[in-house]
Amino acid sequence: MLTDDERRASAEAILVAERTRKPIPQLSKTYPHIEIEDAYRIQDLWADARIAQGARMVGHKIGLTSRAMQMASKMTEPDYGRILDDALYNDGAQIKSQDFIKPRLEVELAFIMGQDLEGPGCRIYDVMRATEFVVPALEVIDYRTEVPRAITDTIADNAAFGAIVVGGRPIRPMDVDIRWVGATLSKNGIIEESGVSAAIMGHPASGIAWLVNKLHAVGAKLEKGQIVLAGSFTRPVDIAAGDVIHADYGPLGAIGVSFV
């Protein structure tokens, strides 16, 4: 377990890495005694600092929703981070690649909450009842620490969140079977990845139910109007300046974005 001073120093180091676009050594190497609880507390301190600087929290992201990624990270459950308003983009945006260190892109669904939702005991149907809209989304993931990373590095680093792009056609959660939303991800006219949303823990709302119960344990909840990224159903694709991205969700529309 880290001391309070070590947690504060870790959060400040991540803030510096984010500001300078230069990754820092893994916290798990700097502090070999770091634990999961420490990592989430460091994330809290990072978020508090960013909010104090003027950012506004608009939601959460969920990561490690696939069994393969959990095994690679030696975890038995997902992780989560915050979405801040200065990292929220709309369909058609031009995004500065220099705002990231080594960005990659994932295909996801975003849930827009229609009412507050809190645990304990939250289940899929509670999530569906509390969700106003589901929309196509892309997540830019980025690392502020060097690799390879332990799970504590990822969690402390806001679960590798870089940015979110939303677009396509908003649907109500019961309009379609959201387990079977398919998508292709093209970079510069070439399809790089494809997937189906059932790959997210069997149902995209499963991870959100997990998140609600985890937040309850720390005295928090999902709030009306918040955005929740449910997790990726494709592998991440590397992106760089000059790349043009098109994600096609079929009946749910598409997202186009470019990196400059």
Kindly compute the dihedral angle of the four CA atoms of residues 14, 24, 163, 252, in this order, to the nearest 10 degrees. -130
Domain locations in the chain?
Answer: 58-259
Q: What is the pLDDT of residue 64?
A: 82
Quick check: 167 and 24 in contact, CB under 8 A? no
Quick check: 75 and 64 in contact, CB under 8 A? yes
32 upstream amide cis, omega within 30 of 0: no
Quick check: 154 and 178 in contact, CB under 8 A? no
Enter the CATH code of domain 58-259. Answer: 3.90.850.10
Instruction: Over range 182-192, report the average pLDDT.
Output: 98
Query: Residue 59, SS3?
Result: strand
Burial class from Cβ neighbours inside 10 Å (0-12, 13-18, 19+) for residue 132 reads middle
Q: Could you please report the per-residue DSSP string of 185-211?
A: EEETTEEEEEEEGGGTTTSHHHHHHHH
Burial class from Cβ neighbours inside 10 Å (0-12, 13-18, 19+) for residue 201 reads buried
Give the rounded percent of residues in the chain with a pLDDT score beyond 70.
97
Q: What is the pLDDT of residue 54?
A: 97
Residue 70 has pLDDT above 70, yes or no: no
Quick check: 61 and 173 in contact, CB under 8 A? no
**How does pLDDT run across 110-126, given as a tens digit for each residue?**
999 999 999 999 999 99
**How does pLDDT run across 189-219, given as a tens digit for each residue?**
999 999 999 999 999 999 999 999 999 999 9
Q: What is the pLDDT of residue 67?
A: 66
Residue 73 has pLDDT above 90, yes or no: no
**How does pLDDT run across 16-65, given as a tens digit for each residue?**
999 999 999 999 999 999 999 999 999 999 999 999 999 999 999 999 88
